[in-house]
Structure 1
Amino acid sequence: MEEKVTNHLQSLQGKRESIEDRKFILQKDFDDLEKQNMEVSSTIDREYENIKQMQVEVLRAQDQISSIKSTTFLTNEDARELEEMNNILEASKIAVVDLKFNI
């Protein structure tokens, strides 16, 4: 009887150690995931700031094009080139908004 109790206690001790080992591993995994989450959040914040900067640059370029159109005599070729640039900027603006929503 005493041997059964001793064996049972040893079995319980082994299970306890196994549970503690798994708990340690899970805690380490959790800590690693938490660190990765912080890194991802930081990356997202940086990318969001980059996107905001891109939006500002696109709007500034469009303002410059509008200013050139209104203050400068343009040949048809110049006007066409400016319009193409404006279309590219408009597409860029849409792409930047898409990026913003995908983050």
Structure 2
Amino acid sequence: MNPEQGLCLGALFDIAATNGLDMGRRLCILGFCRSIEMLSDVVEDAVLEDGGEVVAAEKAIKGGLHEKLTMTVAVPLLWGVPPASERLHLAVRSGGGIVEKVFWQWDFC
């Protein structure tokens, strides 16, 4: 990645995090990033450092301009005290992500 490169608004990300046990409850983080490769690496490192795992990661590139990263991660103590969600937010910002929307999603089945 060229550090002189400006923000490419075509690079989007969608990260869904669960605690690994309750798949019906998740934290979703949506936004833009400079590089889906860099964001993916930083988030993966942070998740692994916390003892979690990357469940799924998909990098889609359409026409060279539009990129999208879709990740699902399992993070222990996501709902704990202090919540691991704060470390996930920090990893996204450190990886060059600009968060547009954060929401909690519950699926009652």
- Judge same fold: TM > 0.5, yes or no: no
**Range class of TM-score, shorter chain:** under 0.3
Q: More strand per residue: 1 or 2?
A: 2
TM-score calculated relative to the size of structure 1? 0.26
TM-score calculated relative to the size of structure 2? 0.25
Q: More helix per residue: 1 or 2?
A: 1
Q: Rg: which structure is higher?
A: 1
